[in-house]
Structure 1
Amino acid sequence: MDTLQQKLRKLTRNLWWTWRPEVRAIFRDLDIDIYHKAHRNPVRVLKEITPALLEKRADEVDIATRTDRALRQLHDYLNPLTTWGMVHAGALQSRPVAYFCAEFGIHESIPIYSGGLGILAGDHLKGASNLGVPLVGVGLLYHRGYTTQMLDATYWQHDVSEPVELSDLPMEPALGPDGRQVRVGVELPGRTVWAKVLECHVGRIRLILLDSRDDANSDEDKALAANLYGGDTRMRIQQELLLGVGGLRALRALGITPSVVHLNEGHSAFAILEWARHRVQQDSLEPWAALAEAASATVFTTHTPVEAGHDKFPANLAEEHLVPLADGLRLPLHDVMGLGRTNPGDLGSPFLPTVLALKNCRRANGVSALHGVVARSMWHHLWPNRSVHEVPIGHVTNGVHVPSWLSSELNTLLQTHLGVNWMDGIVRPDLWTKIAAIDPAEIWEIKKVLKGRMLKLVRDRQNQMLARLGLPQLEPQPLDPEALTIGFARRFVPYKRPDLLFTDLDRLDALVNNPERPVNLIFAGRAHPADGPGKALIQKVGQLTADPRFRNRIIFVENYNIHIGRNLYQGVDAWLNNPRRPLEACGTSGMKVVMNGGLHISVLDGWWAEAFDGENGFAIGNGEIHVSNEVQDKRDAEALYRLLEEQVVPLYYRQDANGVPRQWVHAIQRSMRTLAWRFNADRMVMDYVRHCYLPAAVAASCQMPTP
């Protein structure tokens, strides 16, 4: 019979626990100090807790019974009688979807993500797991993670690498048919780089990760996949070859033959060439027929409406690295280079993985309706003989994995009013009509609890930073818990305009320090390590918190990650998003706030352009765009000030005799009723299955080899 330690270890090996708060609570209750010191990582908790303390806590908080219950629930989850995927995705059962992404944000203790792209990828895996959609994730294991954000006394961002021990991660060697750990080699200039293959389980989904720390590699090559988005352009193309080429080879070595390859952004586009190369070498397909087959099986999602966000590899660098693939395809190098060039005849132009993916896929899509429009215009030059509207780029609007972000308190309320198994019907609009019947006072009491918990976390994190810098601690509660609290957290980059509210500090002072209607502003976010302007924006926001007028009204939370985000999404009253339209591809943080009973305040960009109905949140401006960025910024700043002064703040403080802002809560109920059923990961994955995966799987199977 397994010991309690062995049973607990079994629980840690499947990342199902990341969206099960009652399972996470088991490890938290073993020792809360160890739990938080270990970044809420159950694997490390078990490594650090002593047998004596484990035995003591097992008796005090009934760990054994709770663990047995969780293991039974996990077993039932992994062995369902039926799932949506069994019924609707049968064609994928024997040959699953291979979902490639450069980053996966599943939990803060697994630092192989940097921001929105990775969080979306993690939610995609979790959504596919819940639906039972046959899918395998493919990525890289960054053993030095991304970076930890540490601010100095001037609020300048410093990026600290914190290596992760493999033994601290719920991962195992991926074994081939011979029972040995799979290794794959990828040809790079002058050598072959090897990668060990690891795997972890995200519910019902396998996630395959490549680790470049193979004994056969030089020290330089062992560090190839050490950091997410690290190094120069040469390292970047080599990482992308390792992901796309090595990832597909790893699947084959594991006996997995995908019917569809889903490339989540262009970083993994080289998988297209590897698919075709393999078919040429193993099955003697004619090169262009093999490329046509690879294209038919490929789904490509672009997330970046900003030109600078797409990799461009200089011609000589790309040629140097593509020789092995061109030889394997039995094609001239210039033909292979042409696949990734805007103009194939321009032999000196750079190679773009995004172009390779767009020109060689069955289906391409943006991540919101508006982003689809922007992407068709952005890439129209690839199809000069078509009108913009005929450019073959559609859209699948993103959604969020609700169990990963929803507070347990709000979940309990929804179970009471929508039904115990309400998440099984989350995509049904009629289910959410029941929200209107909930007493606003019930919702308000929960929001007060969530806000209090969030404000404590914010204070504690700020005091930790101040203590590290040797600065005075904040007073017991720096932000008024009764004040309207607005959050803003995302990657700091100029087009997202985190400083839009700071264009008139006197007006901001009057807004946040109104004695009868005060406002708290909480900021968090990171800049890319190489992004000086982004770091300057963080410094601008941070230094404003030292201004006596704003010391108890504005705060910046250091080291934004999944844990910080989850608490902010649950606790804020409203969420602010003010990018320069139309540069926000989607922006899923606001969806998480809506699910937790907060209201969204946003420019009509990304998902909000198709979500706002006039009463389920607030819109900044009317969606019109001025040709001058300077004029547009001034216009949007004025619209934001007026919106807060005339609509948002008055609505929040219009409270009844019991202190309940009933009209505000009615807006929350309308927001959840109109948005929750649409902007979730279940609906997103269902859309991909119906409109992308199944058509691609069928198309690829119909490709006939050319004799």
Structure 2
Amino acid sequence: MINADPSINIAVPKLPQEIEGLKEISLNLWWTWNARGRNLFKLLNPYLWKETRHNPIAMLKSMSQKELNEASKNELFMREYEYVYKTFTTYMNDKNVYADEPLPIAYFCAEYGLHHSVPIYSGGLGFLAGDILKESSDMGLPMVGIGFMYPQGYVRQVIGTDGWQNGAQEPIEKDVAPIERVLDKDEQHFTIKVPFIDPPIFASVWKINVGRVTLYLLDTDIEKNDPWDRQISSRLYTSDINQRLRQQIVLGIGGYRVLEELGIEYSILHLNEGHPAFALFERVRSFMQDGGLSLDDAVAKVKQTSVFTTHTPLQAATDVYNFEMITAAFKDYWEALGMSKEEFMSFGINPDKQSEGFNMTVFGLNMCDNRNAVSKKHCEVATNIWSHVLPASQENKPAMDYVTNGVHVPTWLGDELSDIIDTSVGESWKLLQDSEACWSFVNEISNKKLWKISQNAKVLMVNYIRDRVRVKYAKEGIDPVVAMAEGVLLDPDVLTIGFARRMAEYKRPDLILTDIERLEKIITNRDRPVQIIFAGKAHPADIAGKKILQHIFKTAQESRFGGRIAFVEDYGENVAKYLLHGVDVWLNNPQIPMEACGTSGMKASLNGTLHLSSLDGWWPEGYNGENGWAFGDEPSNTKEDSEALYDLIEKEIVPLYYDTDNSGVPTQWIEKMKAAMTSVTPAFSARRMMKDYLSKFYIPISMDLQKK
């Protein structure tokens, strides 16, 4: 057994004794969702805080010993430091609310969106996983995460002059990231050998502190491995199908082995999508070898104590491996489990497509009795497309349930709004964030005050976008037309619509460009103009998505729009926050029923940004007629939907926004903002989501285990 506690990060410099707690804070992502934690580092050195892209470790490493010594003598800084450090240590030492056995949960996911200093995420799936870890920490829910390091990080988006998306690698800078090596008993970097793989594959283990939750990351880029094997964990979602299978074996089976060797005991295995599903087989092996169970009993126990969350609304969007690949990888494995080849394969065969291969989603559905979709609408879709796989519903338990996604409110709420909430109801609001009564106070905020907060956020967003263009111009000398397309002419006084999501066909990013002549009239209206900001990445292998992106970028270059269409390059967590807080309307128009849930609209709504969306994903649960706008019927029709979208903008949204009182405040618009904040925030918070997981899955599983 390895001690899970020893770890090391050599990036943080030696600090004066008076402020040595800064190291502890900087190595725990708690500060990312606590405003005074962030502001503490900003107070230390505002310029470096900006230059290091809000990375406290990079900032501390850039500071001289003299500066650090001076900070430890600065009365103002020390007063704030002592308060923040005390707040942090109190939080970390609080007794867990759900500490009774056998509740501990192992959460496996291929990506985690936590902060831009740790680029181990691709999109919505990762940010959901990150929010789950953060909320589990806040609730005192005993959880441990397993994922991948991805030393090569993800591909940065670089848009060429012709609007074509290119890629540039952004490797993780481990020496300036909040990541620590886990050490073994000999003080060496802890490394595991992935079981039943020949030739052997090894993975070193790192950890990230997410408040009171620990996330362990596997990394195959070590000298013990052959060059081909070193690349297994290099980047997310590799397009090489053989490497993708090996990646998922390492994540599932290797991740399970990490927990075993660290001596971390847990009772519930939660899989976020099918990528880590091989952990289920490893759990069967563990119950047989360590628990003395028969194969049938071990499989039954794994099914009883595992949760599988599916996000896809399409069968075609699942990972499927041909039988030859699975045989080559698992022949020794199924023999060790006492299974025949047919038994092993049967868990992953899609009855509708038996010759296709081993389907990871089918495997997860078959091996977990606790299954959930990520919205009510998605549950209907998923139940339908997997009806041939799912068992019959029981009286008190549907074959497929749903837990609608939620967002971690302290992470995504703007600082000014957070401050006004703290002032109005006290910091204890974080304990009541899923309560409608807690958010009813929003109605007491003066319209003038809320409008000022909204406009301040828009100014910050526009300045941020302009500054990015300035930096790019200074480095590359970009064409003025490209600078215009990237937002240098944006105006904070203009009604702003934002579309920021993955550039994929089913999301229809260019729906609003369907009738370009009508759009031009809307945008260039002299008295009531509109501007549109786009952002988002196409998958590196998605040519259709890249063509849509190129179409948007070229449209933004047209002078007839006067710089009022912009595409913000390299969409990520930091850009997202500026847009979520700064735009007036958040546009979402997927083809119904192709959106499993979507969470960006939730993040926008809790900041008073109004959601304009087709009725798919979470929006059928969230829309009440007063808190945003809805359009589109099922199945989606592009022509009809674009006309409905233009009608809403021209006849409702624009008039409402520009209808101001004598002080320049759009009263009716702000009432709609308040309706969005009060209705969406409590119902679509991560707090509500995790309570749903507790009541529907975690607690019932624990109660069943305690009976036995």
Give the stretch that moved more between structures: 117-126 or 287-296: 287-296
Whole-angstrom distance in 1 between the partners of 2:617 and 2:359: 24
Corresponding residue of 1:462: 469
Give the stretch that moved more between structures: 43-52 or 669-678: 43-52
Checking the alignment, whether the CA contact within 8 Å between 1:152 and 1:469 is kept in structure 2 is: no
Corresponding residue of 2:4: none
Whole-angstrom distance in 2 between the partners of 1:540 and 1:452: 27
SS in 1 for 2:320: coil
Checking the alignment, whether the CA contact within 8 Å between 1:376 and 1:391 is kept in structure 2 is: no
Give the stretch that moved more between structures: 156-165 or 362-371: 156-165
Corresponding residue of 1:679: 684
2:81 aligned to which of 67, 73, 91: 67
Whole-angstrom distance in 1 between the partners of 2:570 and 2:447: 34
State the aligned residue count.
Answer: 689
Are residues 487 and 18 of structure 1, via their aligned partners in 2, closer, same or farther at CA, if it must alter by over 3 Å?
same
Q: Does 1:576 align with 2:587?
A: yes
Matches within 5 A, 1:355-370: 355-370=362-377
Checking the alignment, whether the CA contact within 8 Å between 1:176 and 1:255 is kept in structure 2 is: no
Give how far 1:39 is off: 2.8
Residues 264-303 of structure 1, C-alpha deviation per residue, up to 9 Å, x if partnerless?
A: 0110110110000122223332112111111111001111
Q: Does 1:44 align with 2:58?
A: yes
Q: Does 1:28 align with 2:42?
A: yes
Corresponding residue of 1:422: 429
AA matched with 1:69: Y
Whole-angstrom distance in 1 between the partners of 2:184 and 2:287: 21
Q: Does 1:530 align with 2:541?
A: yes
Are residues 698 and 183 of structure 1, via their aligned partners in 2, closer, same or farther at CA, if it must alter by over 3 Å?
farther
Give how far 1:435 is off: 1.9
Corresponding residue of 2:531: 520
Whole-angstrom distance in 2 between the partners of 1:610 and 1:417: 29
SS in 1 for 2:358: coil
Matches within 5 A, 1:172-321: 172-175=180-183, 181-187=189-195, 190-321=198-329
Identity of aligned residues (%): 38
Give how far 1:226 is off: 0.9
AA matched with 1:208: Y
1:78 aligned to which of 87, 92, 105: 92
Whole-angstrom distance in 2 between the partners of 1:612 and 1:11: 39
Residues 48-107 of structure 1, C-alpha deviation per residue, up to 9 Å, x if partnerless?
A: 222234445666784333222221111000112x55xx2xx3444x65100100000000
Whole-angstrom distance in 2 between the partners of 1:193 and 1:123: 31
Checking the alignment, whether the CA contact within 8 Å between 1:272 and 1:294 is kept in structure 2 is: yes
Corresponding residue of 1:494: 505
Whole-angstrom distance in 1 between the partners of 2:392 and 2:597: 29
1:669 aligned to which of 663, 668, 674: 674
1:147 aligned to which of 143, 149, 155: 155
Checking the alignment, whether the CA contact within 8 Å between 2:154 and 2:171 is kept in structure 1 is: no
2:617 aligned to which of 569, 582, 606: 606
Corresponding residue of 2:25: 11
Give how far 1:411 is off: 1.2
Checking the alignment, whether the CA contact within 8 Å between 1:11 and 1:17 is kept in structure 2 is: yes
AA matched with 1:19: W
Checking the alignment, whether the CA contact within 8 Å between 1:526 and 1:560 is kept in structure 2 is: yes
Whole-angstrom distance in 2 between the partners of 1:586 and 1:6: 43
Checking the alignment, whether the CA contact within 8 Å between 2:320 and 2:359 is kept in structure 1 is: yes
2:659 aligned to which of 631, 642, 654: 654
Matches within 5 A, 1:54-133: 54-56=68-70, 62-80=76-94, 82=95, 86=97, 89-92=98-101, 96-133=104-141
AA matched with 1:576: L
Are residues 329 and 438 of structure 1, via their aligned partners in 2, closer, same or farther at CA, if it must alter by over 3 Å?
same
Give how far 1:505 is off: 0.7
AA matched with 1:593: A
SS in 2 for 1:382: coil
Q: Under a length normalisation based on structure 1, what TM-score does the superposition of the two structures give?
A: 0.93
Whole-angstrom distance in 1 between the partners of 2:35 and 2:275: 33
Give how far 1:406 is off: 1.1
SS in 2 for 1:380: coil
Give how far 1:246 is off: 0.8
Flag structure 1 segments of 5+ consecutive residues without an equivalent. Answer: none
AA matched with 2:440: T
2:576 aligned to which of 557, 565, 571: 565
RMSD between aligned residues? 2.3
Whole-angstrom distance in 2 between the partners of 1:571 and 1:602: 18
SS in 1 for 2:141: coil
SS in 2 for 1:226: coil
Corresponding residue of 1:540: 551
Are residues 658 and 251 of structure 1, via their aligned partners in 2, closer, same or farther at CA, if it must alter by over 3 Å?
same
Checking the alignment, whether the CA contact within 8 Å between 2:233 and 2:247 is kept in structure 1 is: yes
Checking the alignment, whether the CA contact within 8 Å between 2:16 and 2:68 is kept in structure 1 is: no
SS in 1 for 2:154: coil
Whole-angstrom distance in 1 between the partners of 2:245 and 2:414: 40
AA matched with 2:455: K
Give how far 1:385 is off: 6.8
Whole-angstrom distance in 1 between the partners of 2:370 and 2:562: 50
Corresponding residue of 1:378: 385
Whole-angstrom distance in 2 between the partners of 1:443 and 1:551: 29
Are residues 345 and 614 of structure 1, via their aligned partners in 2, closer, same or farther at CA, if it must alter by over 3 Å?
closer
AA matched with 1:36: K
AA matched with 1:647: E
AA matched with 1:393: M
Checking the alignment, whether the CA contact within 8 Å between 2:320 and 2:356 is kept in structure 1 is: no
AA matched with 1:355: V
Flag structure 2 segments of 5+ consecutive residues without an equivalent. Answer: 1-14
Q: Does 1:625 align with 2:634?
A: yes
Checking the alignment, whether the CA contact within 8 Å between 1:280 and 1:328 is kept in structure 2 is: no
Residues 138-161 of structure 1, C-alpha deviation per residue, up to 9 Å, x if partnerless?
A: 111111111111111112111111
Checking the alignment, whether the CA contact within 8 Å between 2:107 and 2:146 is kept in structure 1 is: yes
Checking the alignment, whether the CA contact within 8 Å between 2:71 and 2:78 is kept in structure 1 is: no
2:360 aligned to which of 338, 347, 353: 353
Whole-angstrom distance in 1 between the partners of 2:192 and 2:298: 22
SS in 2 for 1:39: coil
Give how far 1:383 is off: 3.8
SS in 1 for 2:290: helix
